[in-house]
Chain A
Amino acid sequence: MGIKVSAGERCFRILNIVGMILFCICAIYPFLYLLTRSLSPSEASLVKIGLLPERIVFDNYWRVLKNPAIGAGFKNSIIRTCVGSAVNVAGAILGAYPLSKKYFPNRNFWTAFVVVTMFFGGGLIPSYVLVKQLGLMNSMWAMILPGSISTYNMIIMRNFFMSVPESLEEAARIDGANDFKILWRVILPISKPILMTVLLWSLVGHWNAWFDCLIYITHPSKQVLQVVLRRIVMEGAAQMLNPNSYDFADNKIVNPENIKAATIMVATIPIIMVYPFLQKHFVKGILVGSLKG
C-alpha cells in the first residue's frame, strides 16, 4: 500500500464493516428465525426458541406437504407461472417488434395508445366487472389474460430491438424472409439478454402474485400457493391447522406457529433456490430500464 491510511479512515472502514454485518444480520434474521421454528419439535416451548432448534425434526414440513391445499396451491402456482410468463414474453415481443420499426404505419399513435395505459387505467371495480362479464371467474385465465402484456416490459424490449442494426434485417429481407422470419431467425436469437430479463420479471411476478387470485378465484382448490398461504397464516384458517381435520397417522400435539413457519418456508424456498440466477439478471434489467429510451 503506497498510500498510508489515516487512523480516522481505518476507524471508518472498521465501523462500516461492522455496520454492514449488523445490517446483514437484520436482513437475514427473520428467515433464520422461521427456519428454526419450522424445524423445531412441537413440544419446544414457544418462548425458548433461540437461534438453533433444540433438535431438528421435519414433522412440520411433512404436515405442510401432506396438506392437500398446499399441494394444490403449488400445482396451481406452477401452472400459472409457466403459462403466464410464456404469454407475457410472447405478448411483449409481438408488441415490441412492430413498434420498434420506423416504417410501421402510425407508429407514434400506436406507441401513445399503449403508453397511456401505464398512467391511466380503469381501476379495481371496472376491471373486476370486466373479468366477471367475460366469464373468467374461477378460471386460471383470470390471472393471466388481464396482465398478459406489461407495457413497461414491452417498451424496454422495443428499445432493445431499436438498437439492433438495420443491416441485419435488410440482409435477411434480400434473402426473401418476411417479418415473422426476420423476427424469429434474426432478431430473437440476438435478443437473449432482454428476453431473459423479461422472462424472469414475469416468472417472479406470477409466482408472487396473489391479489388477482384472491378476488377472481373463489374456489379453494383452484387458488395459488400465495393465497393458500395467506389463508393459513393470516386468516388463521383453523381447520387447516387442526390436526384432527387431517388423517395424520401420529397423534402428536401440533404447534400451529411451527406449522405456519414451515408453510412460509415452503413458499419461500423456490425463490431462494433460483435467487442467485435471478439477482444477476434482475440487476442488469433494472439498469436497462433506467436508461433513457
Chain B
Amino acid sequence: MKTTTAERWHSKNKALLFVLDCSRNLRMYRKHKYLVLMFVPVVMYYLVFCYGPMYGITIAFKDYSFSKGILGSDWIGFDNFKRLFAAPSFREVFRNTLILSFYKLATGFPATIAFAILLNELQQIRFKKVVQTISYLPHFLSWVILGGMFIQLLSPSSGPINQLLSLIGMKPIYFLGDVKWFRFTLVITSLWKGVGWGSIIYLAAIAGIDTQLYEAAIIDGARKFKQIIHITIPSLAPVITIMLIFSVGSIINDDFDQIFNLYNEAVYSVGDVISTYNYRIGLIQNEYGYSTALGLFKNLISVSLILLTNFLAKKYNDYGIW
C-alpha cells in the first residue's frame, strides 16, 4: 500500500520532482565548478564544430543559395535525393566504392595476418626489428607524398617499374591511367602502405599466446607449419573475427586521400568513389544541396553498419566499442 501511495504521489508531482532534480544537478554543477569550468570550452567546441555541421545537414533538403544562407533557403523536400538516386554517376561511384573496399579487404586482411605470423617466426630478433621498422614507415607519410612518389615510379615513360617490364619484353603499362589497371594499382599501393602497420595488433596478440602450448606441441612432434595451423591461428581467431567484423563495417568508407592523389579523369569510371565524387560535386561544381544529400546518405549507411557490426561484435565476445 505504501509504495502505491508513493507512486501516486510521484506521478502527481512529476513537475515538482523534475525541478528538484534540476536543482540538485545545479548544486552538483556548482560543487564541481572547476571541473565544469574545464568542460565548458569542450562543450562549446562540440556544439559549434560537430553539432553545428549536423544542423547544416538541412541543406540536403533545401535549394541552397549563398545569399539566403541556410535558414533563408527554400525547402525542396527530397528533390536532391531523387536527383541523386536517379543519377548514373551516383550508381557508378557507389559501385566503385564497394568494389574497391571489397578488393582491399580481400587482399589486405589476409596479407596483414600472414605478415604478422611470418614476422613472428623470424628467429633473429634484430632482423625482425629492422623489418618492422621498415614496414611501418609508409604509415607515417601522407598520400600527397606517396601519390607523388607512385606517379614517378609508375610513369609509363620514365618510371623504373615500366623500364623493368620493357627489359623483359613487355609493353609499358599505364598503371594510373588505364581503366584495366587502376584498381589493381590502388589495391597494391594500399597494401604497400598498410600491411606493416596493420600487423601490429596481430603481433601483440601472438605475443600473448601461452608459450607452453608451443612447447607441448614440440614435444608431441608438431612441425612449425602444424604449430601455425593448430596453435597460432586458432589463438588469433577472436582478434581476427573482431577485426573482420569492423572491417566489413567500414566497407562504405573509401580512402579519399589515396584515390584523390592518384586518380585522374581517364579512370573515373573505375576509380571514382563516393568521397571524391562528393568533393567534386560539392566544392568544384558548388552543388551544395546535392552533395549534402549524398553525404547524409553515406553517413546513414555508415552509422547503420557500425551499429550492426558493434552488435555482432558484442554478441561474439562482449567486445564492443562502447
Binding site for B on A (CB under 8 A): 3, 6, 8-9, 12-13, 16-17, 19-20, 23-24, 26-28, 30-31, 33-34, 37, 46-47, 49, 91, 94-95, 97-99, 101, 103-106, 110, 113-115, 117, 119-130, 133-134, 145-146, 148-149, 178-180, 183, 204, 208-211, 215, 226-227, 229-230, 233-234, 257, 260-261, 263-264, 267-268, 271-272, 275-276, 278-279, 282-283, 286-287, 290, 292
Q: How far is the CB of A178 from chain B (nearest CB, A)?
A: 5
Instruction: Report whether A124 and B223 are in contact in the complex, using a CB–CB cutoff of 8 Å.
Output: no
Instruction: Please tell me if B17 contacts chain A, counting CB pairs below 8 Å.
Output: no
Return chain A residues, CB-CB under 8 Å to B32.
Answer: 98, 101, 103-105, 179
Question: Given A95-B39, A121-B53, A271-B141: A30 and B153 within 8 A (CB)?
Answer: yes
| Leading 8 A-B pairs by shortest Cβ distance | A122-B53, A126-B56, A123-B295, A179-B34, A208-B142, A233-B148, A126-B53, A105-B28
CA distance A85 to B66 in the complex (A): 33
- Verify A20–B319 contact, CB threshold 8 A: no
Chain B positions within 8 Å of A128 at CB level: 282-283
Nearest CB of B to A16, in Å: 6
User: Is B241 in the interface zone, CB < 8 Å from A?
Assistant: no
List, in ascending order, chain B residues with CB within 8 A of A230's CB: 144, 147-148, 261
Q: Chain A residues near B136: list those with CB within 8 A.
A: 279, 282-283
Interface centre among B25, B115, B158 (most CB of A within 10 A): B158
B9: Cβ under 8 A from any A Cβ: no
Q: Knowing A148-B49, A264-B148, A287-B200 are in contact, say whether A94-B38 is a contact too (CB < 8 A).
A: yes
Majority secondary structure, B binding face: helix
Identify the interface centre among A23, A33, A122, A211: most chain B CB within 10 Å of its CB: A122
Report how far A117 CA is from B48 CA in the complex, Å. 12
Which residue of A is nearest B292, CB measured? A125
Q: Are the CB atoms of B283 and A124 closer together than 8 Å?
A: yes
B283 and A117 within 8 A (CB): no
Q: For window 269-322 of chain B, which residues contact chain A by CB distance below 8 Å?
A: 278-279, 282-283, 288, 291-292, 295-296, 298-299, 302-303, 306, 319, 322
Chain B residues, CB < 8 A from A26: 192
Q: Among A106, A145, A178, A226, which residue has its beta carbon within 8 angstroms of that of B142?
A: A226
Give the complex CA separation of A9 and B200 in angstroms. Answer: 25
28 CB-based A-B contacts, threshold 8 Å: A9-B223, A17-B122, A20-B118, A23-B115, A24-B134, A27-B138, A30-B149, A30-B153, A97-B35, A98-B35, A98-B36, A104-B35, A120-B299, A121-B299, A123-B296, A125-B282, A126-B295, A127-B53, A133-B69, A134-B48, A149-B45, A179-B38, A208-B140, A230-B148, A233-B147, A234-B261, A264-B145, A268-B145
Question: Which residues of the other chain, A, contact B151 by a CB distance below 8 angstroms?
Answer: 233-234
Within residues 237 to 276 of chain B, which ones have a CB less than 8 A from any CB in chain A? Answer: 256-257, 260-261
Flag whether B20 is at the interface (Cβ < 8 A). Answer: no
Interface residues on B, range: 35 or more
* Contact across chains for A130 and B49 when beta carbons are under 8 A apart: yes
The smallest beta-carbon distance between A262 and chain B, in angstroms, is 11
Instruction: Give the Cβ gap from B189 to chain A, nearest Cβ, in Å.
Output: 10
Q: Which of B54, B121, B144 touches A229 (beta carbons < 8 Å)?
A: B144
- Evaluate contact between B145 and A129: CB separation under 8 angstroms: no
Task: Establish whether residues B224 and A129, one from each chain, have CB atoms under 8 Å apart when the complex forms.
Answer: no
Q: Find out whether the CB atom of A148 lies under 8 angstroms from the CB atom of B54.
A: no
CA–CA, A48 to B306, complex, Å?
51
| Residue of B134, B148, B292, B296 with most partner-chain A CB within 10 A | B148
Inter-subunit contact A124/B144 (CB<8 Å): no
Instruction: Evaluate contact between B192 and A27: CB separation under 8 angstroms.
Output: yes
10 extra interchain contacts, Cβ-Cβ under 8 A, other than A20-B122, A146-B49, A287-B204?
A24-B131, A28-B134, A91-B45, A103-B32, A104-B32, A123-B299, A125-B282, A126-B54, A267-B145, A275-B140
B303 → A minimal CB distance (Å): 6
Q: Mark B5-44, 1 if CB is under 8 A from A, else 0.
A: 0000000000000000000010011001011101101110
Q: Which residues of B contact A234 (CB under 8 A)?
A: 144, 147-148, 151, 261
Contact B291 A120 (CB under 8 A): no
Question: Interface on B for A, CB 8 Å cutoff?
Answer: 25, 28-29, 32, 34-36, 38-39, 41-43, 45-46, 48-57, 59, 69-70, 115, 118-119, 121-124, 127, 130-131, 133-138, 140-142, 144-145, 147-153, 157-158, 160, 163, 192, 196, 200-201, 204, 218, 223-225, 256-257, 260-261, 278-279, 282-283, 288, 291-292, 295-296, 298-299, 302-303, 306, 319, 322
Complex-state Cα separation, A115 to B225, whole angstroms: 44
Output the residue of B35, B147, B291 with the most chain A CB within 10 A. B35
Whether A124 pairs with B282 at a CB distance below 8 angstroms is yes
Find out whether the CB atom of B118 lies under 8 angstroms from the CB atom of A19.
Answer: yes
Given A126-B56, A233-B148, A8 and B127 touching (CB < 8 A)? no
Report which of A120, A133, A233, A286 forms a contact with B54, defined as CB distance below 8 A: A120
- With both beta carbons as reference points, the residue of chain B lying nearest to A120 in the complex is identified as B303
Contact A91 B42 (CB under 8 A): yes
